């Protein structure tokens, strides 16, 4: 009887641990990104120009619009099928991030957000997308 009690306690403790572990993982996937500090100060090597913004827009339409929406509001047709928000590129909070941080997010992805290092292998093309995403800020 005593050992039965002990194992019951052990099982509930185990379940509690598994539960808190899964909530910790969930908290990681929704929202906060872990971005290495150096990306805060990494300079965008692609100057903002009509050409770079147009290049970024072209790639955005191909690879990003389905989730992030035409204006970056996070309302693309695929967004409704995801259990996580696609964010909103028009907000001050989003735009307060450094170019390098946005570049990192596009390159590495997280959770439902794909990594684009392989799909868009040219670094400068991903930087051009950063330039285009800057035009989505609500002035």
Strand partners, 110: 113
Is residue 82 within the footprint of ligand HEC (CB under 6 A)?
Answer: yes
- Measure the CA–CA gap between 126 and 120, rounded to whole angstroms: 7
Contacts of residue 26, defined as CB under 8 A and 6 or more positions apart, other chains included, come to none
When binding is defined by CB under 6 A, the residue of 78, 115, 123, 124 that contacts ligand HEC is 78
CB of 87 to ligand HEC, least distance (A): 3
Provide the angle, in degrees to the nearest 10, between the axes of the packed helices 123-134 and 99-108: 120
End-to-end CA distance of the chain: 70
When the beta carbons of 3 and 34 are compared against ligand HEC, the nearer one is: 34
* Options 14, 31, 36, 45; binder of ligand HEC; rule CB under 6 A: 31
Stretch in the footprint of ligand HEC (CB under 6 A) among 12-20, 25-33, 34-42, 43-51: 25-33
Q: Coil, strand, or helix at residue 13?
A: helix
Q: Please report whether residue 112 would count as binding ligand HEC according to CB under 6 A.
A: yes
Q: Is residue 22 at the binding interface for ligand HEC, with CB under 6 A as the rule?
A: no
Q: Is residue 111 a contact partner of residue 87, using CB atoms and an 8 Å limit? A: no
Output the smallest distance, CB 32 to ligand HEC, in A: 8
66 binding ligand HEC? (CB under 6 A): yes
């Amino acid at each position: 009887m005593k050992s039965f009690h002990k194992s019951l306690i052990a099982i509930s403790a185990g379940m509690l641990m598994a539960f808190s572990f899964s909530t910790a993982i969930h908290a990681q996937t929704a929202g906060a990104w872990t971005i290495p500090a150096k990306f805060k100060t990494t300079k965008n090597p692609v100057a903002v120009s009509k050409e770079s913004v147009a290049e970024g827009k072209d790639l955005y339409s191909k690879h990003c619009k389905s989730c992030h929406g035409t204006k970056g509001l996070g309302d693309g047709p695929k967004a409704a099928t995801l259990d996580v928000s696609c964010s909103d590129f028009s907000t001050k909070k989003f735009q307060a991030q450094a170019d390098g941080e946005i570049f990192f997010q596009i390159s590495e992805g997280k959770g439902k957000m794909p990594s684009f290092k392989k799909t868009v292998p040219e670094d400068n093309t991903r930087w051009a997308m950063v330039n285009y995403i800057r035009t989505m800020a609500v002035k």
